[in-house]
């Protein structure tokens, strides 16, 4: 499974699977979600190191303001439902119309990069943030490739579902861990 995703990253192509059963799609979905989460978790120390070196200040991340000012249900709904529907509409749905383009590979990279870069707005902008943007948005770029892969294989709904579950796990984990590790938010 992960080999197919890496092949997609190296040479994106549309591989529409209409004949796959719902059960098989769900199995593939779970594997993709687990891989996307694992890789993003493996990338997390990059931000922690930059924070520790005082290159960035993770306490100024926009999500922290949401945690402080909104109820957990509203934050979870926004992160797991609203944001994925809107973001996948902008960053994955256009790929469905471009899948027969001879420039499809370039379009995938453009939309994945744009998806990653839009998330830099979660940080308070300064020179250091701009310099370290490629490292800071690696988890979103990772998700962008996984969402693009599943979108090209099964359709837009599956990209939204992957993105929503990914966000739900991350935000939900923060809420679950916060009582034990108050410094995480």
The string of pLDDT tens digits covering residues 114-172 is 999 999 998 888 898 899 999 999 999 999 999 999 999 999 999 999 999 999 999 99
Residue 174 pLDDT > 90, yes or no? Answer: no
CA atoms within 13 A on the CB side of 26: 3
> Considering the chain, what is the average pLDDT of its residues?
92
pLDDT digits over 22-39, tens only? Answer: 999 999 999 999 999 999
Mean pLDDT value of segment 29-55: 93
Residue 184 — very low, low, confident or very high, per pLDDT cuts 50/70/90? low
Q: Which of 45-49, 58-62, 132-136, 149-153 has the lowest mean pLDDT?
A: 58-62
Q: Is 54 left (phi over 0), alpha (psi -120 to 50) or beta?
A: left
Residue 185 pLDDT > 80, yes or no? Answer: no
What's this model's pTM, rounded to 2 decimal places?
0.92
| pLDDT score of 51 | 87
Judge whether 142 and 6 are in contact, CB under 8 Å.
no
* Dist CA 145 CA 113 (whole Å): 9
Instruction: Give percent of the chain above pLDDT 70.
Output: 98
| pLDDT score of 87 | 98
Can you say whether the dihedral through the CA atoms of 39, 41, 47, 52 is positive or negative?
negative
CA atoms within 13 A on the CB side of 89: 6
- Which runs of consecutive H residues, i.e. helices, occur in the chain? 2-10, 22-52, 62-69, 72-77, 83-91, 93-98, 104-118, 127-131, 133-136, 138-154, 156-177
């Amino acid at each position: 499974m992960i080999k197919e995703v890496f092949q997609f990253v190296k040479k994106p192509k549309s591989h529409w699977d209409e004949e796959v059963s719902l059960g098989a799609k769900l199995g593939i979905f779970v594997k993709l979600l687990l891989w996307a989460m694992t890789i993003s978790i493996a990338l997390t120390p990059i931000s922690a190191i930059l924070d520790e070196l005082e290159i960035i200040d993770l306490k100024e991340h926009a999500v922290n303001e949401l945690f402080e000012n909104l109820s957990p249900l509203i934050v979870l709904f926004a992160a797991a439902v609203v944001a994925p529907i809107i973001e996948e509409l902008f960053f994955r749905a256009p790929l469905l119309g471009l899948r027969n383009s001879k420039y499809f590979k370039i379009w995938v990279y453009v939309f994945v990069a744009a998806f990653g870069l839009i998330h830099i707005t979660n940080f308070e902008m300064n020179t250091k943030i701009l310099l370290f943007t490629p490292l800071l948005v690696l988890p979103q770029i990772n998700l962008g490739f996984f969402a693009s892969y599943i979108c090209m294989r099964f359709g837009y709904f599956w990209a939204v579902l992957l993105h929503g579950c990914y966000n739900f796990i991350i935000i939900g984990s923060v809420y679950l861990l916060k009582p034990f590790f108050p410094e995480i938010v």
